[in-house]
């Protein structure tokens, strides 16, 4: 019996060791290459290195948007023990100030991987980078920061959760802004912790190109503020403003009220985020008389002082009534434009044949998009003469039976006052690689000559008179000479022209003798005033006077002598601040170029400028306080290392009676 048991034990042990030997042979010899492959796959992997998205500046090197290097923390619930869950919850609660139960609830959830903290700031994340627990890991999760919140939101656009640009410049230039991802080979241990990086096999990420817009932050701020003020005063469902350099086509400001905050884009609906200055069309009404007059004068089909019988305000033409708001018996051609007479322009337009008139309208750019470098632009509607009715040309002459976009109208208007050249609107002034080399530098893009220089000169004078003597009186300024034209058009509601809803607009320029700024103001369905001369013209005036006051050096020779001292006194503070900003911009460029991978001296530098410098150098940062920097954690001149965070301590500093920030 005993021998049988001993024999059984011997046989069992023999079989066990035989099976062990077979398994070892299978592992070490038969499947060695296969298992080695899977082991390497588990422990050695390829990680993507995210690329920094390119920075965006205004035309004066003011930083508008940049990247914040946030970190997201995750837990693999398959690997986290119950004890570790408690430890992790306590640690995260201490760092982020949330209840311990909040994290315990997350860690007790279902699924393989859960997110404990999304986009934690660098100052919070640094407290957890060295915290090791099996199953706990983190990933770089950059955030796009729009430094001035809602400012120029429809121009800049926004990026979604996948860091892809949507709307605005973010969409149009997503490819050049996003950069190229890098790759690195990493070795991890059994619990997923990083052991080493194979530097020789690493392909660094290439940051995206930086963009410098044609937008002027100062102009943009003024335009947005005055549009919102106008909506408060006159009511209305929305308002649009565009400021253009008429001599180059560069957009100096473009705004929609209401606007949105790209930092929190998900809080706003699609209608608010839509750039109505490009996407929405409307019948321009009397502002279009400028186009008609330019065409007639260029064809020498009218003289400025001939008398036109305007029927005492009521004209029966081909079975329809054409009316003027202010009845007159006779008006000169000049006065027809000044008083915005529908009857006068309807009679004058009969002198130009349909094909020639259509050729001018197409020449001014109506009926197709302007090719501005922003997404979603509509082309408007201009029917061909063979589709016109007997009344079409008459209605076209004062801005009906045609649909235009605000961007089309300001581009066409600019050609009328700049000497006769239609320019393609531009939003990008310069595109620069991360190493400072220039990829693209803009220059004016001439589309075609539309009218002669002489016609343009005549139109400038006519438009000046329309402001001084005519319907645009509320745009007249003692500070700067202004020319322009009012517009009021009934809106189509359910297929019929509404008597309650209007588009009120003003398109103008300044100074008259040497146009530097062209601007369009459009208010949708104002509750007070209704007419363009009562609603849009005052908004135009407010914007123009603020721009001139804030940029006195650019307009000084066009301001009456008696106003120079007064304006200089009022704008002295702003001039100094502007000069200070320009000086800081020069210092920023110097700091970046001198740094040479060393920490620059940021003492007495404004926070916004320090952010600019560190972002260009690729240095992560934490900011305590606001205003001016008085100390920094990385000493000036120290060699910069990867992932090192510079802590900047700031204080408010009062200069010339105002806080600097």
Asked if pLDDT for residue 658 goes beyond 50, the answer is no
pLDDT of residue 38: 47
pLDDT at 195: 42
At 80, the pLDDT band (50, 70, 90 cuts) reads confident
Tell me: cis bond preceding 313? Omega within 30 of 0 counts.
Answer: no
Return the higher-pLDDT residue of 406 and 122.
406
Give the pLDDT of residue 583. 40
Residue 164 backbone dihedrals phi, psi, to 5 degrees: -105, 135
Distance in angstroms (rounded) separating the CA atoms of residues 457 and 480: 18
Q: Are 470 and 448 in contact (CB under 8 A)?
A: no
From 137, 84, 136, 75, select the one nearest 106 (Cα to Cα).
Answer: 75
Beta bridge partners of 46: 185
Q: Report percent pLDDT > 70 for the chain.
A: 84
Q: What mean pLDDT do residues 346-370 have?
A: 97
- Token reading at 39: 């082991």
Convert the pLDDT of each residue in 91-124 to its tens digit. Answer: 999 999 899 999 998 898 777 888 988 888 877 8
Element housing 644 (H / E)? none
Mean pLDDT of the chain: 85
Residue 584 has pLDDT above 60, yes or no: no
Q: How far apart are CA 341 and CA 327, in angstroms?
A: 9
Cβ contact 611:66 at 8 Å = yes
Tell me what pLDDT residue 652 has: 56
**Which pLDDT tens digit goes with each residue over 7-48?**
777 777 777 776 667 666 666 665 555 545 445 545 556 667
**For 460, which DSSP code?**
H
The C-alpha atoms of residue 386 and residue 219 are separated, in whole angstroms, by: 43
Least confident of 352-366, 495-509, 619-633: 619-633
Question: What's the average model confidence in pLDDT over 344-365?
Answer: 97
Q: What's the confidence (pLDDT) of residue 656?
A: 31
pLDDT in tens, 133-143: 888 888 888 88
Residue 593: count other Cβ atoms within 10 Å of its Cβ.
10
CB count within 10 Å of CB 554 equals 12
Angstrom distance (rounded) from CA 330 to CA 341:
11
Instruction: Count Cβ atoms below 10 Å from residue 518 Cβ, excluding itself.
Output: 27
pLDDT for 29 equals: 65
pLDDT score recorded for residue 3: 66
56/642: higher pLDDT: 56
Q: Flag whether pLDDT at 593 surpasses 70.
A: no
Residues in CB range of 197: below 8 A, 6 or more apart:
184, 185, 186, 187
Locate all alpha helices (DSSP H) within 475-559, ordered by sequence: 536-550, 552-555
d(CA 169, CA 222): 21
Report how far residue 322's alpha carbon sits from residue 121's, in angstroms, rounded to the nearest whole number.
65
User: Using an 8 Å Cβ cutoff, are 459 and 297 in contact?
Assistant: yes
Average pLDDT over residues 568-582: 50
Is residue 64 predicted with pLDDT exceeding 90? yes
Ordered DSSP codes for 89-123: HHHHHHHH---HHHHHHHHTSSSSEEEEEEEE-HH
pTM of this structure: 0.80
Contact, 519 vs 509, CB < 8 A?
yes
* Sign of CA pseudo-dihedral 87, 92, 98, 101: negative
Calpha distance 613→595 (Å, rounded)? 10
**Which of 7, 335, 422, 372 has its CA nearest to residue 155?**
372
CA distances from residue 85 to 79, 110, 193, 291, 523 in whole angstroms, order as listed: 10, 14, 18, 72, 58
Host H or E run for residue 423:
strand 421-423
The top-scoring range by mean pLDDT among 108-112, 314-318, 342-346, 494-498 is: 342-346
Percent of the chain with pLDDT over 90: 55
What count of residues does the chain have? Answer: 661
Give me 632's structure tokens: 């920094």
**Is the pLDDT score of 655 beyond 60?**
no
CA contacts within 13 A on the Cβ side of 30: 7
Taken in order 446, 484, 379, 277, the sign of the CA dihedral is positive
Q: Tell me, what's the pLDDT at 566?
A: 60
What confidence score (pLDDT) does residue 48 get? 75
DSSP codes of every residue in 318-344: TTEEEE-SS--SEEEHHHHHHTT-HHH
pLDDT the model gives residue 126: 83
Task: Report in angstroms the alpha-carbon separations of 12 from 6, 7, 24, 177.
Answer: 10, 9, 18, 69
- Look at residue 200 in the predicted model and tell me its pLDDT: 59
| Residue that wins the pLDDT comparison between 246 and 162 | 246
Distance CA(390)–CA(379), nearest Å, equals 25
Q: At what angle do helices 406-417 and 453-468 cross, to 10 degrees?
A: 110
Give the pLDDT score at 572: 55
- Let me know if 19 is exposed, middle or buried by CB neighbors in 10 A (0-12, 13-18, 19+): exposed
State yes or no: cis peptide before 624, omega within 30 of 0.
Answer: no
Structure tokens at 602: 């940021």
pLDDT tens per residue across span 225-259 = 999 999 999 999 999 999 999 999 999 999 999 99
Phi and psi based region of residue 135 (left: phi greater than 0; alpha: psi -120 to 50; beta: remaining): left
């Amino acid at each position: 019996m005993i021998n049988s048991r001993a024999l059984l034990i011997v046989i069992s042990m023999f079989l066990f060791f035989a099976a062990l030997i077979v398994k070892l042979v299978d592992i070490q010899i038969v499947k060695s290459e296969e298992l080695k492959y899977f082991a390497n796959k588990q422990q050695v992997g390829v990680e993507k290195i995210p690329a920094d998205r390119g920075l965006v500046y205004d035309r004066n090197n003011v930083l508008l948007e940049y990247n914040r290097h946030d970190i997201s923390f995750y837990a693999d619930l398959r690997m986290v023990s119950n004890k570790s869950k408690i430890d992790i919850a306590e640690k995260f609660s201490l760092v982020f100030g949330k209840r311990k139960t909040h994290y315990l609830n997350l860690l007790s959830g279902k699924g393989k991987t859960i997110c404990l903290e999304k986009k934690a700031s660098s100052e919070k994340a640094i407290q957890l980078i060295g915290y090791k627990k099996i199953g706990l890991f983190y990933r770089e999760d950059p955030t796009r920061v729009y430094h001035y919140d809602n400012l120029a939101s429809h121009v800049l656009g926004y990026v979604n959760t996948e860091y892809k640009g949507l709307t605005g410049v973010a969409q149009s230039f997503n490819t050049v802004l996003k950069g190229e991802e890098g790759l690195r080979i990493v070795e991890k241990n059994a619990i997923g912790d990083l052991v080493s990086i194979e530097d020789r096999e690493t392909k660094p990420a290439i940051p995206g190109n930086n963009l410098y817009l044609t937008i002027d932050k100062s102009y943009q701020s003024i335009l947005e503020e005055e549009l919102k003020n106008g909506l408060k005063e006159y009511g209305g469902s929305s308002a649009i403003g565009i400021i253009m350099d008429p001599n180059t086509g560069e957009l100096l400001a473009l705004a929609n009220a209401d606007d949105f905050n790209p930092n929190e884009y998900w809080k706003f609906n699609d209608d608010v985020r839509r750039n109505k200055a490009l996407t929405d069309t409307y019948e321009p009404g009397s502002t279009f008389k400028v186009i008609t007059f330019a065409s007639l004068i260029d064809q020498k089909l009218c003289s400025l002082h001939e008398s036109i019988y305007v029927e005492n305000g009521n004209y029966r033409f081909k079975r329809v009534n054409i009316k003027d708001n202010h009845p007159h018996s006779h008006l000169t051609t000049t006065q027809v434009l000044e008083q915005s007479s529908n009857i006068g322009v309807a009679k004058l337009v009969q002198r130009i044949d349909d094909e020639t008139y259509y050729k001018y309208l197409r020449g001014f750019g109506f009926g197709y998009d302007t090719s501005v470098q922003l997404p979603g632009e509509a082309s408007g509607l201009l029917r061909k003469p063979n589709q016109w009715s007997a009344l079409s040309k008459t209605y076209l002459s004062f801005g009906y039976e045609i649909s235009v976009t605000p961007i089309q109208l300001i581009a066409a208007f600019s050609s009328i006052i700049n000497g006769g050249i239609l320019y393609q609107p531009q939003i990008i002034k310069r595109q620069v690689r991360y190493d400072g080399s220039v990829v693209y530098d803009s220059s004016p893009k001439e589309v075609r000559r539309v009218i002669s220089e002489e016609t343009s000169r005549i139109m400038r004078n006519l438009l000046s008179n329309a402001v001084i003597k005519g319907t645009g009186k509320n745009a007249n300024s003692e500070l700067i000479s202004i020319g322009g034209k009012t517009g009021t058009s009934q809106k189509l509601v359910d297929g019929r022209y509404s008597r309650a809803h209007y588009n009120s607009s003003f398109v103008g320029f300044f100074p008259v003798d040497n146009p530097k700024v062209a601007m369009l103001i459009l208010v949708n369905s104002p509750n007070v005033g209704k007419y363009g001369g009562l609603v849009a013209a005052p908004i135009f005036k407010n914007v123009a006077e603020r721009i001139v006051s804030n940029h006195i050096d650019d307009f000084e020779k066009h301001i009456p002598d008696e106003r120079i001292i007064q304006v200089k006194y009022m704008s002295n503070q702003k001039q100094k601040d502007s000069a200070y900003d320009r000086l800081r911009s020069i210092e920023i460029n110097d700091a970046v170029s001198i740094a040479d991978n060393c920490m620059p001296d940021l003492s007495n530098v404004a926070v916004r400028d320090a952010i600019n410098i560190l972002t260009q150098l690729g240095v992560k940062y934490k900011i305590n306080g606001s205003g001016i920097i008085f100390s920094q954690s990385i000493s000036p001149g120290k060699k910069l290392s990867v992932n090192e965070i510079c802590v900047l301590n700031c204080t408010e500093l009062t200069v010339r009676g105002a806080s600097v920030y």
